[in-house]
A = this chain, B = another copy of it.
Amino acid sequence: MTTPRFHYRPPDFGVAPLSDAPDATFGPMIADGVLPEGFFSTTNLPTYLRIGGTWRRPRSPRMDCVIVMDAEGQLTAREPRRLTQGTPVALGEAEDGSQGIYVHTEGFLGGSRSANEFQFMATAVSRERPVDYQQLAEQLAEERTGGGHIVWVAGPALVHSRARSDMTWFIENGYVQAFLGGNAIAVHDLEAALFGTTLGMTAEGESVAYGHGLHMRAINAIRRAGSIDEAVRSGLVTNGIMHALVRHGVPYVLAGSIRDDGPLPGVITDVLAAQDAMREQTTRATFAVLVATALHAIAVGNMLPAYVDQGGDRLRPLPTICVDQTEFVVNKLRDRGTHQAHGVVTNAQDFMHVLRFYIERWEQAPGRRVRRG
């Protein structure tokens, strides 16, 4: 909150470069509501124009306006639509005084932020920021080609929605070197494999009769088989995420949590033992993708270094992609110290689908040869 004990320090116009600045220039409105080329577009910050050697502030400051000088020489910030042909408006793009206009940001922006420029779209994590899937796909593909250790951390929403087949595709095509999650994602995945539903909801979003018991029946079937691996080997489970992990020998860790039903055999119910198992993977990670999970994303973020140590002085940032429906989880992850997290604010299903599409395109590029694992 802005403190009342604020002391404004005006710019020091007596020293360079401000002392050497030229006078501001003005140009006439081309037509009613039509500005001259190169008009100065205002911010909401204290702004000074040099007029006849003197620095003056316009009245009625606001952003997205222009500065006009009236017959008495009075400066005012005005909406362009209100100005008639011929009215003189200030010209210039620069805000540093070099064109006779100075925007004084000091003390009005940011607090701890260094950013000394008035700008839009400065928030780091936002649904409004574009996602560069192409760059992300390229990076992931090169990591795979280069023998990196790509660690995926995923929540059950990945199976609820239809990203299940996309996640399976990533495993089958060598983009997953370790898979970290909880009991729930495996339960939903196995319910889907055995009954075609997740929590009793079909892939089309319909509820089936008495569907609420199906995840319990799935758990029981696996317990009867003895283990997830055995359920795959015996042919009980023939598709999905766990199937792909087992078939391709990808290490996975399922950490128990207080909300688990079952649990499935293989779930590590002691959380410290589960942490130790996860950390075996995180210490080797060269790339991390965290999808649709707050609990596990923060847990793994906690264990991940911010960088990959390639020996000697060869360090590089550890790319850490965090995908969630809202900005909250990504910001929380960053607020817990995982500053390198790059947020992708979208639906997990769509993320998986689009990313896979871009990777397939990358793989199909002429001259590219992708070895299958």
Residues of A within 8 A of B (CB): 1-2, 4, 6, 8, 10, 30-31, 33-35, 39-41, 43-46, 57, 60-64, 79-81, 93-95, 103, 105-124, 126-132, 135-136, 139, 142, 157, 160-162, 182, 199-201, 203-205, 207, 209-213, 215-217, 219-220, 223-224, 255-263, 269-272, 274-275, 278-279, 282-283, 294-296, 298-299, 302-307, 309, 313-319, 321, 325-328, 331-332, 334-340, 342, 345-347, 349-351, 353-354, 357
Could you list 18 further interchain pairs (A-B, Cβ under 8 angstroms) beyond the known A113-B114, A130-B204, A354-B354? Answer: A1-B136, A2-B316, A8-B314, A44-B304, A45-B307, A62-B305, A63-B212, A63-B302, A64-B302, A119-B337, A122-B335, A123-B334, A126-B331, A129-B161, A255-B258, A260-B271, A325-B326, A353-B354
- Say how far A204's CB is from chain B's closest CB, in angstroms: 6
Residue of B nearest to A303 (CB): B62
> Which residue of chain B has the shortest Cβ distance to A215 in the bound complex?
B64
9 closest pairs, A vs B, by CB? A114-B114, A110-B115, A41-B213, A346-B347, A350-B350, A259-B299, A61-B305, A256-B271, A120-B199
Q: Which of A60, A117, A346, A354 has the largest count of B CB atoms less than 10 A from its CB?
A: A117
**Which residues on the B side are within 8 Å of A200 (C-beta)?**
119-121
- Report how far A110 CA is from B315 CA in the complex, Å: 17
Residues of B within 8 A of A123 (CB): 331, 334-335
Contact A43 to B272, CB < 8 A, known contacts A1-B319, A62-B304, A295-B259: no
A25 → chain B closest CB, angstroms? 16
A154 to chain B, nearest CB (A): 14
Decide if A119 touches B223 in the complex (CB within 8 Å): no
Contact (Cβ within 8 A) A199 B121: yes
Check B118 against A339 for contact (C-beta < 8 Å). yes
B340 touches A261 (CB 8 A): no
Choose from B298, B316, B326 the contact partner of A6 (Cβ within 8 Å): B316
Q: How far, in whole Å, are A237 and B306 apart by their CA atoms in the complex?
A: 34
Hey, which chain B residues are within 8 Å of A157, CB to CB? 127-128
In the complex formed, the residue of B with least CB distance to A142 is B4
Residues of chain B within 8 A of A10, CB atoms compared: 313, 315
Residues on B with C-beta less than 8 A from A315 are 8, 10, 46
> Given that A199-B121, A205-B130, A335-B122 are known contacts, is A271 also in contact with B258, CB under 8 Å in the complex?
yes
Complex: A338 Cα to B357 Cα, angstroms: 34
Task: Give, as a whole number of angstroms, the nearest-CB distance from A312 to chain B.
Answer: 9
